Chain A
């Protein structure tokens, strides 16, 4: 019997090596959105004005918003900035509430712009390094699920993890389908940053055109720790595998999944800006960003019984390396700013069709699998219009500026209620010293709702109230 079991185990292991990895982790819509969602800018003045900057863009922020704005710079400009991000998540799970947060501090902007001397018009080149996405996230949950379990879900989906951990019998039947306490944490970290090479020229009087060429790189790590515990003694007298007496009295199932991305990519952005006496109008076209993702997925875990028996998972059977491209859609932006004496008002709108997000050039994933993901993206995502509003008031004679802004990024998912839209309020201050050194600080507070499923659909769901806080400090020297 023992040898039969051993033979079966080997056979199952071989099969698992071939087909199982995709059962524990599968690429999907949320992966594409991770690189598709619009992010906050790394420019303090712009952020203070709600990132409503396509129609203003007369500093290093042009590398993020509208490259044509570089054409408005008449002095050499050197700027640098630091950012602090905090991600908070208030989670409701099975009637329990949990708070969790994560933060990151980084150098998020370094830029140099060089205007060429002109008899008329403008020609400016710039190079900048800036953070383009922040992947900081956090989630914690803890609650009693009396109607389902991940063990049962994995087992039903064909995964060998429950079997390997002696949570099923040799016929792949498990009693552990409900009445377990579920808890865990999911944290995300990482960023993408870009080296941006920009050029802008005044093509016609007061009409500026510009181009950004971005070379991006970055990393993303997602660490998912998941526990199922029999806190009530519901399975105290149950053998999960009758052939193995040590499996009496299930206590804990632990699964740790770690996802690592190594990201590279490039993209182009075209911008135009027309300047009137006291107003500016800008339009931008963000060409699709092509990100190449090298993904490593690692799994570890164990189970624990009150007999002292605690088998560990051979993670190498479930770990995986794949590679693919994620291509984001076009983004069409338009904005304007108007100067009313010492008060600048700005607004902008950006059209993004998230259903055009795509996985491409997959290595390690079948074509049919990639097609299914892309079809799912088309079926579940939608086009949205992001709105940004901003204001800046310069206190005459003091060199002090006060800023405020608001931005709204609708959820990319079809059918999501408005509470799932990302909202931000922003504010900021700027101070100019000696006509040459500008100090800026900005703060943004964002909030929206989201949800996530540990497995299945709406059987182990975390309802999340997310808040994001970002502080940017930057200084600009013009000479």
Chain B
């Protein structure tokens, strides 16, 4: 009996060896875009229509807010690097602060974090990126992430 049980238990692990594990961990310096979030949310055992608040209790991963913060930082870092190589834009607090308004082509705002709508590109360059990462995106109802702390926003009620 024990031998049979051992064999049964080995089946899933043998399967893993051939197929590889499905789970992929997210690292703070890795990409995590809205497609990933939508893929994770997918169809659910507790659909929102039937379960209301329980939908969020069961389905919303806690790390979405962390992802947004990290993503925002990554974007800023990438953008700064990119700026250095593009058109000689050099990070200079005085120059950006004095600008007040930036053009839509500024690379620091061209790659939105998952929670950030494209409208944030009108903000100032460096500091605006931070604000964008912390901002509530309730205005964008198509975005599956409502806001940074993982709670449902008022528009969903």
Contacts and interface: CB of A to CB of B under 8 A. Distances in A.
Given A119-B32, A394-B50, A394-B51, 18 more contacts: A74-B62, A75-B61, A75-B62, A115-B62, A118-B40, A119-B24, A119-B26, A122-B23, A209-B12, A275-B45, A330-B1, A339-B46, A396-B51, A396-B52, A398-B52, A432-B57, A435-B53, A478-B62
Contacts of B50: 339, 341-342, 394, 396
Contacts of B57: 75, 432, 435-436, 438, 478
Given A120-B40, A330-B5, A397 B52 contact: yes
A341 B23 CA distance: 29
A74 B56 contact: no
A2 interface: no
A342 B2 CA distance: 41
B89 interface: no
A472 to B, nearest CB: 19
Nearest to B54: A432
Interface in A318-334: 330, 332
A339 B45 contact: yes
Interface string A202-237: 111101010000000000000000000000000000
Interface in A114-146: 115-123
B59 interface: yes
A398 B51 CA distance: 9
A274 to B, nearest CB: 11
Interface of B: 1-2, 5, 8-9, 12, 15-16, 19, 21-26, 30, 32, 36, 39-40, 43, 45-46, 50-54, 56-63, 66-67, 150-152
Interface stretch (A28-36, A277-285, A365-373): A277-285
Contacts of A202: 22-23
Contact of A58 (B21, B40, B58): B58
A394 B2 CA distance: 41
Contacts of B1: 330
**B21, B25, B62 interface centre (most CB from chain A within 10 Å):** B62
A97 to B, nearest CB: 44
Contacts of B21: 121, 201, 203
Contacts of B150: 75
B67 A432 contact: no
Contacts of B16: 203-204
Given A270-B9, A394-B51, A435-B152, A74 B61 contact: yes
Contacts of A397: 52
A438 B63 CA distance: 20
| Ranked 9 nearest A-B pairs via Cβ | A121-B23, A117-B63, A117-B26, A74-B61, A75-B62, A119-B24, A435-B56, A342-B50, A435-B53
A479 interface: yes
A76 interface: yes
A342 B51 CA distance: 7
A293 interface: no
Contacts of A342: 50-51
Interface in A359-400: 394, 396-399
Nearest to A339: B45
Contacts of A58: 45, 58
A396 B51 CA distance: 6
**A58, A115, A118 interface centre (most CB from chain B within 10 Å):** A118
A119 B53 contact: no
10 contacts: A74-B60, A75-B61, A117-B67, A119-B26, A203-B21, A204-B15, A339-B45, A342-B51, A435-B56, A438-B57
Interface of A: 58, 72, 74-76, 115-123, 201-205, 207, 209, 270, 272, 275, 277-278, 280, 285, 330, 332, 339, 341-342, 394, 396-399, 432, 435-436, 438, 478-479
Given A330-B1, A341-B50, A394-B51, A118 B26 contact: yes
B24 A121 contact: yes
Nearest to B62: A75
A342 B50 CA distance: 5
B54 A75 contact: no
B58 A74 contact: yes
Contacts of B5: 285, 330, 332
B156 to A, nearest CB: 11
Nearest to A279: B45
Nearest to A338: B45
Contacts of A394: 50-52, 54
A460 to B, nearest CB: 39
Contacts of A275: 45
A162 to B, nearest CB: 47
Nearest to A353: B1
B28 to A, nearest CB: 8
B86 to A, nearest CB: 29
B79 to A, nearest CB: 22
Contact of B23 (A120, A280, A332): A120
A435 B151 contact: yes
**B50, B67, B151 interface centre (most CB from chain A within 10 Å):** B50
A341 B47 CA distance: 8
A175 B71 CA distance: 91
A204 B25 contact: no
B52 A399 contact: yes
Contact of B39 (A120, A285, A432): A120
Contacts of A72: 45, 58
Given A74-B62, A280-B45, A123 B54 contact: no
Given A204-B19, A339-B45, A435-B56, A117 B36 contact: no
